[in-house]
């Protein structure tokens, strides 16, 4: 390996000592730039480090990512952490092992080739012995990665590929403080923010007097439309926020479109339109049939069980230290600094675990809220926790969208040409990825709405276009993307981005085409699919679900969905079995995934299963509700999610790695699961439901009148 071949995050952070150090007590301190979001990443990376170093995995201490100490590996997003951070960790550890072997060989006066390492103990001939811990010396790693040491071959793996227990779960299950919400600092005070009563509302007056007289209130901050309060106890902060809400007067006006006619709004709103088209095999055959269908997804909330939280401390300078569950502490530092008129060097941003976020939720906003309140209260750490209502109504949402697909088919029904047209808001408004303001606090302060027309390139998977390019062998296709820059509600990354709607639409349409041709949906897909790994997951899921032995019955159905996530990630096929008597219930999901090398198979299954259950919830229940003023689905009764009694049985089969490199699995099941359910509903009721979610009302609305 040469330095050109080093993994990108190692090229960006080449010094080995920035990633790793040994101490004399038998501990390996590992620093990475990817953060734990409940997906098990720190355990998987610890496994990869233990493997290369030949130490027991319990010796690996994962240091929480912080901007003053950790390598900058960008965001923790897009199911890329194993590919990016894992590759760097593996290389760092392989080189570190090699360096320590050199030192050990010299100390023991034996040839390096004769040394072996077991759990950090380095032994050679004639009972010579030392260890990483004995040799521990930070200066040895004060050098850049060279790329001259090859990591272990997969055939030697002993730790990678096993179900090592999650490092973080004992604390989380045994009631020990571990979440950012649990941090208790000396002198800490409690902040709450009062959001406007509607979108685009303007604060006309605020009487802070009654609030400031409440015993325990430390400060009130009011800038533009931003209202915050700081109190010395949390219960006082809650009371004070209520008081402020009552004492604020706002100018409100309707600004949102008719929620019941959202597809019409989306397809007529001003948009930036881009085209991708490819014809692989020009055909002169005239089409035998032409087909078209239009699909819709509403806005979907991230719905973390923990409302967003952050702590900030302002000290002389001013300097700011922020503790956050953000997915990107480095971007957050830069963008908070920019929007507060500070320099990045004045800020330290450290990650502390939060609940699952599933994308860009309120985490970054809460960090800015805390920063603004902390600057007004120097010397005291300010903890901000959002309310449930703000989390569901004011955090960025997964965007609503419409997809129309047109296809021309041959006499046997196979696809000659395919056109996939998208109308959607952006999935990309994370701090630093769209024009400022990126944060609710500065948006409120400056009375400037947050908009984004950002769309990552297809090489990185795209955003709204994710999985819009067909994964099948169609002779020609075209993708048209209408990206709506000024969405009525703020949108950003939600697990799988556009892949969810695009795969729901494309895989529903594949079933419609198969039905039009009188062909089995699995056979129809396989006839358009030459990729062997793709075929293998479809065949596996068909076998596992006993697809061919299915017994049709009243109001029960089965359906299939397939996609390769981002067209370059994990292959995933899902078979859903549903009943649709009074409401649609998903009884069982059978899933097959090929994600190459598995670091922690049980962790991967957990992620896939969780993704599929969450997608089932999106599919059956979820829809952000709003009137013309604001979001109205701001609690779990108006925004219901799937419950224990409604969760389907889920069986996941992991395909053998076959020497393929590891791919992320956290998002691959979202689209195929929704598509499989849609196809199963059609099988059960002979009704094609093209608008999510599949509530009884929407199923009835799809029935022929």
Rounded CA-CA distance 19/635 in Å is 42
What separation in angstroms does the CA of 703 have from each of 161, 681, 688?
48, 12, 8
- Minimum separation from the CB atom of position 230 to other proteins (A): 14
Q: Does the protein bind other proteins through residue 174 (CB under 8 A)?
A: yes
- Minimum separation from the CB atom of position 597 to other proteins (A): 19
- Minimum separation from the CB atom of position 295 to other proteins (A): 23
The footprint of other proteins on residues 685-704 (CB under 8 A) is none
Q: Does the protein bind other proteins through residue 359 (CB under 8 A)?
A: no
Query: Would you say 453 or 602 has its CB closer to other proteins?
Result: 602
Side-chain half-sphere exposure of 675, counting CA atoms within 13 A: 28
Q: Does the protein bind other proteins through residue 215 (CB under 8 A)?
A: yes
Q: Which stretch binds other proteins (CB under 8 A): 44-52, 288-296, 635-643, 696-704?
A: 635-643
Q: Does the protein bind other proteins through residue 629 (CB under 8 A)?
A: no
The verdict on whether omega for the bond into residue 437 sits within 30 degrees of 0, i.e. cis, is yes
Q: Which stretch binds other proteins (CB under 8 A): 80-88, 167-175, 258-266, 420-428?
A: 167-175
Query: Would you say 80 or 217 has its CB closer to other proteins?
Result: 217
Look-up of token digits 């969780």: 610
Side-chain half-sphere exposure of 160, counting CA atoms within 13 A: 28
Q: Which stretch binds other proteins (CB under 8 A): 77-85, 174-182, 480-488, 691-699?
A: 174-182
- Minimum separation from the CB atom of position 173 to other proteins (A): 4
Which candidate, 688, 697, 579, places its Cα nearest to that of 295? 688
Q: Does the protein bind other proteins through residue 611 (CB under 8 A)?
A: yes
Which candidate, 619, 620, 655, places its Cα nearest to that of 541? 655
Rounded CA-CA distance 622/611 in Å is 15
Query: Given candidates 293, 641, 687, 702, which one binds other proteins under the rule CB under 8 A?
Result: 641
Helix, strand, coil percentages (3-state) for the chain, rounded to 5, are: 35, 25, 45
Q: Does the protein bind other proteins through residue 187 (CB under 8 A)?
A: no
Q: Does the protein bind other proteins through residue 210 (CB under 8 A)?
A: no
Q: Where are the beta strands (DSSP E) in 518-626?
A: 556-564, 571-580, 584-594
Query: Given candidates 150, 169, 185, 264, which one binds other proteins under the rule CB under 8 A?
Result: 169
Cβ neighbours for 318, distance < 8 A, ≥ 6 positions apart: 342, 346, 375, 378
Cβ neighbours for 441, distance < 8 A, ≥ 6 positions apart: 193, 226, 228, 365, 368, 369, 371, 372
**What are the structure tokens assigned to 196, written together?**
């406007």
Q: Does the protein bind other proteins through residue 607 (CB under 8 A)?
A: yes
- Minimum separation from the CB atom of position 691 to other proteins (A): 23
Q: Does the protein bind other proteins through residue 561 (CB under 8 A)?
A: no
Classified as helix, coil or strand, 611 is: helix
The footprint of other proteins on residues 378-417 (CB under 8 A) is 385, 387-388
Residue burial 27-57, b: 16+ Cβ < 10 Å; e: rest: bbebbbbbbbbbbbbbbbbbbbbbbbbbbeb
Q: Does the protein bind other proteins through residue 213 (CB under 8 A)?
A: no
Residue burial 241-258, b: 16+ Cβ < 10 Å; e: rest: bebbeebbeeebeeebbe
- Minimum separation from the CB atom of position 69 to other proteins (A): 24
Query: Would you say 100 or 358 has its CB closer to other proteins?
Result: 358
Query: Would you say 40 or 431 has its CB closer to other proteins?
Result: 40
Rounded CA-CA distance 114/121 in Å is 14
Q: Which stretch binds other proteins (CB under 8 A): 247-255, 288-296, 646-654, 691-699?
A: 646-654
Query: Would you say 165 or 264 has its CB closer to other proteins?
Result: 165
Q: Which stretch binds other proteins (CB under 8 A): 311-319, 335-343, 444-452, 606-614?
A: 606-614
| Backbone dihedral angles phi then psi of residue 651, each to the nearest 5 degrees | -115, 125
Q: Does the protein bind other proteins through residue 480 (CB under 8 A)?
A: no
Rounded CA-CA distance 495/172 in Å is 23
Q: Does the protein bind other proteins through residue 362 (CB under 8 A)?
A: no
Rounded CA-CA distance 300/361 in Å is 11
Q: Does the protein bind other proteins through residue 610 (CB under 8 A)?
A: yes
> Counting Cβ atoms within 10 Å, is residue 156 exposed (0-12), middle (13-18) or buried (19+)?
exposed
The three state secondary structure string of 200-242 is CCEEEEECCHHHHCCCCEEEEEEECCEEEEEECCHHHHHHHHH
Query: Would you say 178 or 420 has its CB closer to other proteins?
Result: 178
CA dihedral of 494, 500, 501, 506, whole degrees rounded to 10: 160
- Minimum separation from the CB atom of position 292 to other proteins (A): 34
- Partners of residue 408 on adjacent β-strands: 290, 417
Q: Where are the beta strands (DSSP E) in 15-147?
A: 20-22, 28-31, 60-63, 116-118, 121-123, 129-131
Q: Which stretch binds other proteins (CB under 8 A): 131-139, 337-345, 613-621, 655-663?
A: 613-621
- Minimum separation from the CB atom of position 622 to other proteins (A): 11
Neighbours of 121 (CB within 10 A): 16
Q: Does the protein bind other proteins through residue 637 (CB under 8 A)?
A: yes
Which candidate, 604, 617, 389, places its Cα nearest to that of 494? 617
Query: Would you say 136 or 620 has its CB closer to other proteins?
Result: 620
Q: Does the protein bind other proteins through residue 614 (CB under 8 A)?
A: yes
Q: Does the protein bind other proteins through residue 127 (CB under 8 A)?
A: no
Q: Does the protein bind other proteins through residue 612 (CB under 8 A)?
A: yes
The footprint of other proteins on residues 232-271 (CB under 8 A) is 232-235
Q: Which stretch binds other proteins (CB under 8 A): 126-134, 297-305, 310-318, 436-444?
A: 297-305
Q: Which stretch binds other proteins (CB under 8 A): 68-76, 231-239, 286-294, 689-697?
A: 231-239
How many residues bind other proteins (CB under 8 A)? The answer is 60
Query: Given candidates 2, 548, 553, 644, which one binds other proteins under the rule CB under 8 A?
Result: 644
Q: Does the protein bind other proteins through residue 166 (CB under 8 A)?
A: yes
Binding marks (x or -) toward other proteins, 35..74, rule CB under 8 A? Answer: --xxxx----------------------------------
Question: At 500, which helix (H) or strand (E)?
Answer: helix 499-516
Q: Does the protein bind other proteins through residue 211 (CB under 8 A)?
A: no
Q: Does the protein bind other proteins through residue 216 (CB under 8 A)?
A: yes
Query: Would you say 56 or 168 has its CB closer to other proteins?
Result: 168
Query: Given candidates 153, 175, 270, 704, which one binds other proteins under the rule CB under 8 A?
Result: 175
What is the maximum alpha-carbon separation in the chain? Answer: 88
Query: Would you say 110 or 188 has its CB closer to other proteins?
Result: 188
Q: Does the protein bind other proteins through residue 375 (CB under 8 A)?
A: no
Neighbours of 170 (CB within 10 A): 11
The footprint of other proteins on residues 298-317 (CB under 8 A) is 303-307
CB 659 within 8 A of CB 154: yes
The footprint of other proteins on residues 82-111 (CB under 8 A) is none
Rounded CA-CA distance 511/506 in Å is 9
Rounded CA-CA distance 540/545 in Å is 8
Query: Would you say 176 or 275 has its CB closer to other proteins?
Result: 176
Q: Please give the residue ranges that form the binding site for other proteins (CB under 8 A).
A: 37-40, 163, 165-166, 168-170, 172-177, 179, 181-182, 184, 215-216, 232-235, 303-307, 354-356, 358, 385, 387-388, 602-603, 606-607, 609-614, 617, 635-637, 641-645, 647, 649-650
């Amino acid at each position: 390996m040469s330095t050109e071949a080093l993994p990108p995050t190692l090229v960006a952070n080449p010094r080995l000592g920035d990633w790793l150090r040994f101490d004399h007590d038998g501990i390996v301190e590992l620093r990475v730039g990817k953060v734990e979001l409940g997906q098990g990443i720190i355990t998987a990376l610890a496994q990869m480090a233990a493997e290369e170093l030949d130490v027991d995995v319990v010796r690996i201490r994962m240091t929480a990512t912080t901007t003053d100490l950790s390598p900058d590996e960008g965001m923790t997003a897009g199911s890329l952490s194993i590919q990016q951070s894992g590759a760097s960790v593996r290389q760092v550890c392989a080189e570190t092992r090699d360096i320590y072997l050199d030192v050990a060989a010299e100390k023991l006066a034996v040839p390096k080739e004769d040394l072996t390492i077991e759990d950090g103990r380095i032994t050679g001939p004639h009972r010579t012995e030392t260890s990483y811990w004995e040799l521990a010396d930070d200066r040895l790693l004060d050098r850049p990665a060279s790329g001259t040491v090859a990591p272990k071959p997969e055939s030697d793996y002993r730790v990678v590929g096993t179900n090592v227990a999650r490092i973080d779960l004992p604390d989380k299950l045994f009631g020990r403080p571990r979440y950012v919400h649990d941090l208790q600092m000396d002198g800490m005070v409690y902040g709450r923010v009062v959001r406007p009563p509607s979108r685009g509302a303007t604060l006309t007056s605020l009487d802070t007097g009654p609030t400031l007289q409440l015993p325990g209130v430390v400060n009130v901050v009011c800038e533009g439309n931003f209202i915050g309060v700081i109190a010395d106890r949390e219960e006082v902060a809650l009371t004070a926020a209520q008081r402020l809400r009552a004492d604020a007067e706002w100018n409100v006006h309707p600004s949102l479109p008719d929620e019941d006619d959202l597809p019409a709004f989306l397809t007529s709103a001003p948009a930036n339109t881009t085209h991708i088209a490819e014809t692989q095999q020009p055909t002169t055959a005239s089409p035998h049939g032409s087909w078209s269908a239009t699909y819709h997804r509403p806005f979907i909330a991230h719905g973390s069980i923990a409302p967003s939280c952050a702590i900030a401390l302002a000290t002389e300078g001013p300097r700011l230290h922020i503790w956050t569950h953000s997915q990107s502490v480095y971007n957050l530092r830069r963008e908070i600094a920019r929007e507060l008129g500070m320099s990045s060097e004045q800020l330290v941003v450290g990650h502390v675990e939060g609940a699952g976020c599933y994308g860009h939720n309120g985490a970054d906003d809460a960090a800015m809220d805390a920063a603004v309140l902390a600057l007004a209260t120097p010397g005291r750490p300010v903890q901000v926790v959002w309310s449930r209502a703000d989390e569901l109504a004011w955090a960025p949402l997964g965007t609503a969208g419409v997809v129309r697909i047109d296809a021309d088919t041959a006499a046997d029904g196979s696809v000659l040409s395919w056109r996939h047209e998208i109308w959607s808001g952006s999935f990309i408004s994370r701090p630093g990825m769209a024009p400022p303001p990126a944060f609710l606090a500065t948006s409120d302060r400056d009375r400037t709405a947050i908009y984004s027309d950002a769309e990552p390139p297809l090489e990185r998977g795209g955003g709204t276009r994710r999985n819009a390019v067909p994964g099948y062998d169609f002779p020609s296709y075209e993708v048209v993307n209408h990206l709506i820059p000024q969405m009525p509600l703020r949108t950003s990354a939600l697990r799988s981005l556009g892949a969810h709607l695009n795969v729901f639409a494309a895989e529903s349409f594949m079933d419609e085409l198969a039905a039009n041709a009188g062909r089995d949906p699995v056979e129809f897909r396989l006839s358009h699919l030459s990729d062997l790994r793709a075929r293998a997951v479809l065949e596996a899921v068909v076998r596992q679900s006993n697809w061919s032995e299915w017994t049709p019955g009243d109001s029960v159905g089965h359906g299939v969905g397939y996609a390769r996530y981002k067209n370059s990630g994990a292959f995933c096929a899902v078979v859903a079995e549903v009943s649709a008597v009074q409401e649609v219930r998903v009884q069982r999901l059978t899933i097959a995934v090929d994600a190459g090398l598995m670091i922690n198979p049980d962790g991967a299954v957990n992620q896939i299963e969780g993704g599929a259950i969450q997608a089932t919830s999106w599919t059956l229940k979820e829809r952000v509700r709003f009137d013309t003023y604001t979001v109205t689905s701001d609690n779990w009764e108006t925004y219901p999610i799937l419950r224990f009694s409604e969760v389907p049985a889920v069986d996941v089969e992991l395909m053998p790695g076959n020497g393929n490199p590891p791919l992320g699995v956290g998002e691959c099941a979202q689209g195929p699961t929704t598509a499989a359910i849609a196809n199963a509903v059609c099988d059960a009721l002979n009704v094609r439901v093209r608008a999510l979610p599949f509530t009884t009302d929407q199923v009835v609305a799809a029935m022929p009148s």
